[in-house]
Amino acid sequence: VQNKTWTAVDSYTQEHVHPTTSANHKVLLDALRNSRDKGLPDIATAPVVAKMYALQCKANKVKHALEFGTLGGYTSIWLATVNPELQVTSLEINERHKAVAQENLEHAGVADRVTIRLGAALDILPQLAKEIESGAKPKLGFVYIDADKQNNWNYMDRVITLCEPGALIYVDNIVRGGSILDAENPEPRTQGARQVVENAGEDKRIDSVVIQFVGEKGYDGMLMAVVK
């Protein structure tokens, strides 16, 4: 569902709270343009949502953020440009996406603080866990799950132990125009959204909420969890 008012409100408010004079304005647009030119799907996180995540990292003074699903690196560029002290680990299974994202990170000047790891996230996580447990990397203060939706819960379940208390974990594309209500929907993306919401509610290690939103990307929403 698209709605002209939602998009217009995003445009108007962003002109004021994130004007074209903002330090990262150009590199973010360049990343989107380059990703489009190189044929990546147009499913990057909306600017207002990516900026909200960046500001939450800032508010919590996060040292290490983890992203599932790099795509063209758009969200990583937001996180890293707003937070000069932050290191980002981003997991991507698609070699082409990783190559385009790497170009975008270098162009944005954040390639030294954003590390893309290529492969299936469930294969990479044990190695990352070792690095965090040995102290080679800081515990996670922010996690963004935005990859293959059928693994939403697997990612959430495994990442909680790598987080510091108070860490935020977000899962994208939970509402999808209301399709989350359809228990019979065989679409793995719908089932992945339902599973992570239902399991999060049962999990004693986290406290969770689902937030619906509208904007230039239509009607969707995210699950937010705080690690206890």
| In the complex, least distance from residue 77 CB atom to ligand DHB, rounded to whole angstroms | 16
Regarding 43 and contact with ligand DHB (CB under 6 A), the answer is yes
Q: What are phi and psi of 118, to 5 degrees?
A: -90, 130
Query: Which residues ranging from 164 to 183 are in contact with Mg ion (CB under 5 A)?
Result: 172-173
**Amino acid identity of 190?**
T
**Contact, 137 vs 130, CB < 8 A?**
no
Distance between CA atoms of 176 and 173, rounded to whole angstroms?
6
For 71, the 3-state DSSP assignment is coil
Nearest residue (CB) to ligand DHB, 138 versus 188? 188
Q: Which residue is nearest to ligand DHB (CB)?
A: 43
**Contact, 214 vs 13, CB < 8 A?**
no
Query: Which residues ranging from 175 to 204 are in contact with ligand DHB (CB under 6 A)?
Result: none
Tokens representing 125 are 């996580």
CA distances from 76 to 91, 114, 130, 203 (A): 11, 7, 23, 28
Regarding 35 and contact with Mg ion (CB under 5 A), the answer is no
Nearest residue (CB) to ligand DHB, 132 versus 154? 154
How many positions of this chain bind ligand DHB (CB under 6 A)? 4
Residue from 80, 89, 146, 163 binding ligand DHB (CB under 6 A): 146
Distance between CA atoms of 78 and 110, rounded to whole angstroms?
10
How many positions of this chain bind Mg ion (CB under 5 A)? 3
Q: Which residue is nearest to Mg ion (CB)?
A: 172
How many CB atoms are located within 10 Å of the residue 138 CB? 14
Residue 14 touches which of ligand DHB, Mg ion, none (CB < 5 to 8 A by kind)?
none
Binding mask 135-164 for Mg ion (x = CB under 5 A): -----------x------------------
Distance between CA atoms of 225 and 140, rounded to whole angstroms?
13
Q: Name the H helices within the chain.
A: 4-17, 25-37, 47-59, 74-82, 95-108, 121-133, 152-159, 188-202
Residue from 14, 89, 154, 173 binding ligand DHB (CB under 6 A): 173
| In the complex, least distance from residue 76 CB atom to Mg ion, rounded to whole angstroms | 14
Nearest residue (CB) to Mg ion, 103 versus 146? 146
Nearest residue (CB) to ligand DHB, 67 versus 137? 67
State the residues that interact with ligand DHB by CB under 6 A: 43, 146, 172-173
State the residues that interact with Mg ion by CB under 5 A: 146, 172-173
